[in-house]
């Protein structure tokens, strides 16, 4: 697994490098063709300005938007906004309650074992402040 740890980054870098080089080459051919159609000589400085403008315009509209969506979503999930962790806490509390309900002693031991071996942000998940249906945590 460690061997391929940065494979995605390297493949993405290669795709980026190839695409930017091809974009520049084909852009130069189109720029020269347009200059010739106006009976002018193609100048590299004008081409560099046009290519820079086009490239940053594309990055602004596509890459930055996608980057924000991916990085922003990952950040908010990492931070643990209430909307992103609400269902996980509820599900965890239900599973804890079922383990405790099925086998009181063994259930509590399993919950403790799982809590010790897995990272839990803040202690034991509670099912509700006021448990529904008269559930009081024991049988």
| 75 and 100 co-located in one domain | no
Q: Give the total number of structural domains in the chain.
A: 2
Q: What is the pLDDT of residue 137?
A: 52
- The two counts, helices (H) then strands (E), for the chain are 5, 0
What residue numbers bound the domain in which 100 lies?
Answer: 82-134
Long-range pairs of 73-77 with CB within 8 A, sequence gap ≥ 24: none
Q: How far is CA 74 from the centre of its chain?
A: 4
| 74 and 110 co-located in one domain | no
- Burial category of 80 from C-beta neighbours within 10 Å (exposed 0-12, middle 13-18, buried 19 and up): middle
Predicted TM-score (pTM) of the model is 0.46
Interval 20-50: pLDDT, tens:
999 999 999 999 999 999 999 999 999 999 9
Interval 123-136: pLDDT, tens:
554 444 444 444 55
| 118 and 107 co-located in one domain | yes
How far apart, in whole angstroms, are the C-alpha atoms of residue 96 and residue 7? 39
């Amino acid at each position: 697994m460690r061997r391929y740890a940065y494979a995605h980054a390297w493949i993405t870098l290669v795709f980026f490098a190839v695409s930017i080089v091809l974009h520049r080459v084909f852009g130069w051919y189109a720029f020269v063709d347009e200059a010739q159609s106006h009976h002018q000589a193609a100048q590299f400085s004008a081409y560099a300005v046009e290519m820079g403008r086009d490239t940053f315009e594309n990055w602004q509209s596509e890459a930055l938007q996608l980057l924000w969506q991916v990085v922003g979503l990952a950040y908010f999930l990492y931070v643990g906004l209430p909307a992103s962790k609400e269902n996980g806490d509820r599900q965890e509390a239900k599973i804890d309650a079922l383990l405790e309900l099925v086998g009181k002693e063994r259930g509590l031991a399993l919950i403790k074992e799982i809590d010790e071996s897995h990272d839990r942000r803040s202690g034991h998940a509670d099912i509700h402040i006021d448990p529904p249906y008269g559930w009081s945590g024991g049988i």
